[in-house]
Chains A and B, each alone.
Chain A
Amino acid sequence: MARLNTADHDTIIRVAGLRNAFGEQVVHEGLDLDVKRGEIIGVVGGSGTGKSVLMRSIIGLQPPQAGEIEVFGESMVGLEEYEAKQVRKRWGVLFQGGALFSTLTVAENVQVPIREYYPEVDGQLLDEIAAYKVAMSGLSPEAGPKYPSELSGGMRKRAGLARALSLDPQLLFLDEPTAGLDPIGAAAFDELIKSLQRTLGLTVFLITHDLDTLYAICDRVAVIADKHVIAVGTIPELLALDHPWIQEYFNGPRGRAAADATKRAAAGETGK
């Protein structure tokens, strides 16, 4: 029977005792986090608590001062360039602003990782792959030959997602994918990530401020406060904890509205 991508480890990302500091300012101190295969983990925390720094540490852009980081069972600290490349082709990263290469069209942006890692793929197939990736990420066909400067913020995010997915990665990093999108676009983006995760068997590391996204697609949520992860769990598990920030976050007016919406959606589905 044909099967989808499967990895060899149950814990895809393991972070232990991470310490990050910029000069005097300590961002992370003794941060631990495990991400399991096939889950969508949401990372939340107040502004400036180092969510993006955590992501940059995991993907190797920010060398940590101390601690262990393992991705796919490989230690990311002090990795040789060749080994790092092998790990990098198994993940995709969507940066906050899309981070598209401004001199290439959207479709050419999607082709960049494939050209880099699989130069043997012939031109026609390369164009076809770029085409369906662009369509899959929810962009209209007209967006393919456009340059990033001609796109709106939402389209840039989708194009960034198409590029992040171009190598069919097992692990996807998303930095605030729905920030700056209109509610309809944001809901469609959530749906897209959920369906991609289901069909491709992806593991998703998702940084977000969007409570609707947390309720709609995240299997578990990790809360960063006081320089480390104070809790990881499903939203009901987190709600049972007695931490003031978590309570305020999920039980504030916005948190409650998102929870109600989820309940209504669930009731609607069972009603059918």
Chain B
Amino acid sequence: MNAPADFQFDQQVLRFQGELTLARIGDLSRRLSALEGVPKTIDLSDVDRIDTVGAWLVHRIARDHDVQVTGADEDVCTLLEQIAAADKPVKIRPDSSPPFIRVLREIGDATSAAAHSLTGLVGFFGATLIATWGLITHPRRFRYNAMARQFEVVGVKALAIIGLMSFLIGIVIAQQGAVQLRQFGAEVFAVNLIGRITLRELGVLMTAIMVAGRSGSAFAAQLGSMKLAEEIDAMRTIGVSPMEALILPRVLATVILMPLLGFYAAVVAIIGGGIFCWVDLDIPPITYIQRIREVVPMTDLWVGLIKAPVFGMLIAMCGCYQGMQVEGNAEQVGLRTTASVVQAIFLVIVLDAVFAVFFSSIGWL
């Protein structure tokens, strides 16, 4: 190994020594800037090796002080010429503005992005409706295979995880309810709690959150990477409508499956609660089922089943819409996927509140 880069400066001659390379440069650049006095000549004859970084340092001094370079062979001269030719004012990063302005701009950007995304979603909903009407008038264009595939991905493959989650939630509701109601000696009413809350609210809501996390995000990521790979553009040029081939099967599959999954989740939660009641409260399964049938009104089931397809629609729309908005780079796929899940869960909960008020006011208590 040769000596690291170094220099000597006397009588207006700057004499470099050692290896003027990136690996051996050390703090040479800083020491050079701290140099006192102006060199007239740069002597390179003691330099063992030089690369473009070394050449750049030499060029920088030569440029700033109008210096003569000696002791360089033909190759090094060519290198210095090339470096001189490459000395252009290149900016490293885009200009940044003062923090206050930046904060203001970011707030503005976020607000307009939110408004834009909401109007975009409404527009997307309209486009989906138009495409659905197109399918109703031309049923032969319907893609049964794509739809069946989505049934499997969104529905069948979600059964295990949704079942497990609901079962545990049923147990938790029963246990927490029993603990609180026991204070009044009313732990039998835990059955009412389980039956009504799962069918009316939690079954569908928890399913919606799970489907948003599992399938809504998958829609966004799939469509986003297809968009990046120009697959969607290729489809359009061939004459296949991405709306019909990709989005409608996903939206319809989710709309149809959400009530089924929601009902399934409620039933599994009731079973979970029932097992807890049997073990802890000594309520035998037969009595438990009888109690459930007595205390849960039919309207509770309808409330759940009416909400479910609407939630499914929202989740699939958010996923597909965000996926179709991907542009540019791979980072966008991640951002849009996150956005789709956050948006879907937020809208589902807002709408759930609206439904709660609506069903109470029509007397489905």
Contacts and interface: CB of A to CB of B under 8 A. Distances in A.
A associates with B: yes
Interface of A: 1-6, 89, 102-103, 105, 107-108, 111, 114, 118, 120-122, 124-125, 127-136, 141, 143-145, 147-149, 165, 167-168, 195, 198-201
Nearest to A110: B92
A118 B93 contact: no
Given A1-B73, A167-B22, A107 B48 contact: no
A272 B87 CA distance: 31
Contact of B87 (A2, A89, A132, A195): A132
Given A120-B26, A200-B51, 11 more contacts: A2-B50, A102-B328, A105-B94, A107-B91, A122-B30, A129-B53, A131-B87, A135-B88, A136-B83, A145-B95, A168-B21
Interface stretch (B74-82, B110-118, B136-144): B74-82
B22 A168 contact: yes
Interface in B131-166: none
A81 B73 CA distance: 38
B73 A102 contact: no
A130 B52 CA distance: 11
A114 B22 contact: yes
B132 to A, nearest CB: 34
A108 B92 contact: yes
A129 B26 CA distance: 15
Given A1-B73, A3-B50, A144 B25 contact: no
Contact of A2 (B47, B52, B78): B47
Interface string B81-106: 01101111111111100000000000
B331 A3 contact: no
B197 interface: no
Interface string B16-41: 00001111011101100000000000
> In the complex, which of the residues A2, A165, A167, A201 has the most CB atoms of chain B within 10 Å of its own CB atom?
A2
B28 to A, nearest CB: 9
Contact of A141 (B29, B71, B89, B331): B89
Given A4-B50, A144-B92, A199 B25 contact: no
B86 A132 contact: yes
Nearest to A130: B92
Contacts of A122: 27, 29-30
A2 B92 contact: no
Nearest to B47: A2
Interface in B303-349: 328-331
Which 9 pairs, one residue from A and one from B, show the smallest C-beta to C-beta distance? A102-B329, A131-B90, A149-B328, A144-B90, A135-B86, A2-B47, A168-B51, A136-B86, A107-B92
A134 B73 CA distance: 26
A124 B33 CA distance: 11
Contacts of B49: 2-6
B315 to A, nearest CB: 28
Contacts of B26: 120
Contacts of A131: 87-90, 92
B52 A132 contact: yes
A136 B92 contact: no
Contact of B94 (A121, A145, A199): A145
A195 B92 contact: no
A243 B339 CA distance: 58
A198 B53 CA distance: 17
A238 B201 CA distance: 77
Contacts of A168: 21-22, 51-53
Contact of A200 (B56, B71, B79, B89): B79
A214 B75 CA distance: 25
7 contacts: A3-B76, A103-B329, A105-B92, A121-B29, A132-B56, A136-B52, A145-B93
B60 interface: yes
A215 B29 CA distance: 41
A132 B73 contact: no
A129 B53 CA distance: 7
B44 interface: yes
B176 interface: no
Contacts of B25: 118, 121
Contacts of A105: 92-94
B243 interface: no
B20 to A, nearest CB: 8
B23 A130 contact: no
A120 B72 contact: no
A125 B32 CA distance: 11
Nearest to B73: A1
A51 B47 CA distance: 39
B45 interface: yes
A195 B75 CA distance: 11
B50 A135 contact: no
A199 B78 CA distance: 7
> In the complex, which of the residues A4, A130, A144 has the most CB atoms of chain B within 10 Å of its own CB atom?
A4
> In the complex, which of the residues B52, B60, B71, B90 has the most CB atoms of chain A within 10 Å of its own CB atom?
B90
Contacts of B60: 128
A94 B86 CA distance: 20
B325 to A, nearest CB: 14
